[in-house]
Amino acid sequence: MTITTHTISDKQFAEIITDEVLVASAEAGLDLLGNIYYQGFDGIILYEKNIIPAFFDLKTGMAGEVLQKFSNYRMQLAIIGEFDKYESNALHDFILESNKAKQVLFVASLHEALNMIG
């Protein structure tokens, strides 16, 4: 796992680069959050491939549980991926609302993430 630091408006964001699945459970998501938080970062940029598909099925409750932790710690999260492939209207609505609030962002590219966070 490689962490690339991006500085935006005096805030530090950790871009996590790996081929591994890092968020396979709510507990794993919290572990990642804690690890990055205690390194002094203000936010995390993560790729969709690093999160199990069940996260994107809102019925599992995993997304809500993980994202609530990010909100509690006031840690921004940007997830880079292709979310159109998911057929759930509820997920698409969730993504739209999340992107408006900007605590958790679902974006298509690193460039888009860097423009929206901070």
Domain count, the chain: 1
Q: Encode pLDDT of 70-82 as tens digits.
A: 989 899 999 999 9
Give the pLDDT of residue 47: 98
What pTM, to 2 d.p., does this model score?
0.94
**Amino acid identity for residue 74 in this structure:** R
Query: Backbone phi, then psi, for 97, in 5-degree steps?
Result: -65, -40
Closest CA to 45 of 17, 86, 19, 85: 17
Domain CATH code at residue 90? 3.30.750
Q: Where are the beta strands (DSSP E) in 33-93?
A: 43-47, 76-80
**Tens digit of pLDDT at every position of the chain (118 positions):** 999 999 998 999 999 999 999 999 999 999 999 999 999 999 999 999 999 999 999 999 999 999 998 989 899 999 999 999 998 999 999 999 999 998 999 999 999 999 998 6
Q: Which domain holds residue 6?
A: 2-116
- Neighbouring residues of 37: CB distance < 8 A, sequence distance ≥ 6: 73, 75
